[in-house]
Amino acid sequence: MCVLAHVFEAAGIATIVLSSIREMTAKVAPPRALHCEFPLGRPLGRPNDAAFQHDVLARAFALLDAQSGPVRVEHPEVIEADEQPVACALPARFDPNLPPAVEEARGLRKAYDRALARRGVSSVGRAITADEVPDALRVLDAIVNGDDWATAGIPGGNTVALCHDIRTYYEEAALELVDGPPPGGRAMEDWFFERTEAGATVLAARAAIRESGAKFPIWFYMTPGQR
């Protein structure tokens, strides 16, 4: 983003960068940057904290008033990464004929619907709808069990967008099931990949696609890079 900022500025378009890696921002020196010492993947800080997120955006847009640059400002608050998976109960299994992830996703639908009704918006939809999440997991499960990923019928034809939608569906549902303030850092990510059948299925499908010889980055961005 820092490099692209220079490109856009050269074309006469003003830019603001929300910086997550201080060293990279200092090296590339975009015209305007607000460095936020937040966990990666949380550029606006705390999930579901509208006041905090609006404050981040207000500080960022205020950089447009600077008379000269490059301008780099530090957000005053530091949010430490939370490496502990969030505690969130998952639905019990009832149908042994279904892949575990498929039944799990179906069991979370009511929680997802409550989240959608409360927020009025969902980030699910890059490749599939919430209705299609169970079937998408069925396709990934088939790939894990030997189906050729290229002919398995991946919904939307985009492995990265598909996995984004599955994870988003789970995380939005989980926020309706977790008591207390919204979890921070990578707590939701760790919960999805370490505690859910869907997360295990995505990881296993990613490994199967990689081992099949698929070209980078078809499989790489199915999960965060550190996984």
CB atoms within 10 A of CB 179: 6
Cα–Cα–Cα angle for 150, 196, 92, rounded to 5 degrees: 115
**By percentage, how much of the chain surpasses pLDDT 70?**
96
The reported pLDDT for the residue numbered 105 is 98
Residues 70 and 106 both lie in one domain: no
At 217, the pLDDT band (50, 70, 90 cuts) reads confident
CA 113, 176, 188, 17 dihedral sign is: positive
Q: Is residue 20 part of a domain?
A: yes
Q: Is 161 helix (H, G, I), strand (E, B) or coil?
A: helix
The DSSP bridge pattern shows strands 71-74 and 32-35 to be parallel
What is the residue range of 156's domain?
100-222
Give CA separation, 119 vs 122, 172, 175, 186, 215, in Å: 8, 10, 11, 21, 38
Residues 59 and 147 both lie in one domain: no
At 57, the pLDDT band (50, 70, 90 cuts) reads very high
The reported pLDDT for the residue numbered 185 is 56
Residues 69 and 143 both lie in one domain: no
The reported pLDDT for the residue numbered 227 is 78
Residues 69 and 105 both lie in one domain: no
- Specify the number of domains making up the chain: 2
Q: Which of 189, 184, 145, 140 is nearest to 162 (CA)?
A: 140
pLDDT greater at residue 25 or residue 204: 204
Dihedral, 35, 36, 40, 43 alpha carbons, nearest 10: -100
At 60, the pLDDT band (50, 70, 90 cuts) reads very high
Q: Is residue 82 part of a domain?
A: no
pLDDT greater at residue 86 or residue 135: 135
Q: Is residue 68 part of a domain?
A: yes
Residues 161 and 70 both lie in one domain: no
Q: Is residue 151 part of a domain?
A: yes
Q: Is residue 89 part of a domain?
A: no
At 83, the pLDDT band (50, 70, 90 cuts) reads low
At 182, the pLDDT band (50, 70, 90 cuts) reads low
Tell me how far apart the alpha carbons of residues 211 and 23 are, in angstroms, rounded to a whole number.
35
130: DSSP letter: G
Q: Is residue 128 part of a domain?
A: yes
β-sheet with 32-35: strand ranges across: 17-19, 32-35, 71-74
Q: Is residue 65 part of a domain?
A: yes
Tell me the chain's radius of gyration from C-alpha atoms.
20
Q: Which of 125, 220, 132, 124 is nearest to 173 (CA)?
A: 124
Q: Is 6 helix (H, G, I), strand (E, B) or coil?
A: helix
Residues 107 and 162 both lie in one domain: yes
Residues 104 and 215 both lie in one domain: yes
Of 59, 74, 89, the last residue of a domain is: 74
Residues 171 and 130 both lie in one domain: yes
Q: Is residue 93 part of a domain?
A: no
The reported pLDDT for the residue numbered 5 is 87
